[in-house]
Amino acid sequence: MSVVPELEVKPLAPPEPQLDGDHERMAHIVLEGFQPDEGDYVPAGPSVVEGIVNGTPVRALCGKVWVPGRDPQKYPLCPTCKEIAGHLGWSVPSS
């Protein structure tokens, strides 16, 4: 006979947004979809525009998930995203 301990399950509070984190001060590359050589455009997830309009979290190549709401153009490109995009053979804007 085995004893199963009772576990107290608590709902997790949503994490506080870390506005001062480095990742908040970088522009990330979001895979919104891709265009295969043949066939139609394949959406891969919510686009940045969707995120801004609907508050939908988007996922960057580096794995960061956030709700876009700011103009990322003023931030330097996330080096992790840039590296992954380079491996994928994407053209990355140099900034």
Is the Cβ of residue 28 or residue 51 nearer to Zn ion in the bound state? 28
Q: Smallest gap, in angstroms, from Cβ of residue 6 to Zn ion?
A: 41
Q: Which of 48, 52, 62, 77 binds Zn ion (CB under 5 A)?
A: 62
Is the Cβ of residue 23 or residue 52 nearer to Zn ion in the bound state? 23
Type and span of the H or E element at 23: none
Using a CB cutoff of 8 Å and minimum separation of 24, what contacts does 14-17 make?
A: 17/66
Q: Which stretch binds Zn ion (CB under 5 A): 5-13, 34-42, 43-51, 61-69?
A: 61-69
Q: Which stretch binds Zn ion (CB under 5 A): 3-11, 39-47, 71-79, 84-92?
A: 71-79
Q: Which residues contact 38 (CB under 8 A, 6 or more apart)?
A: none
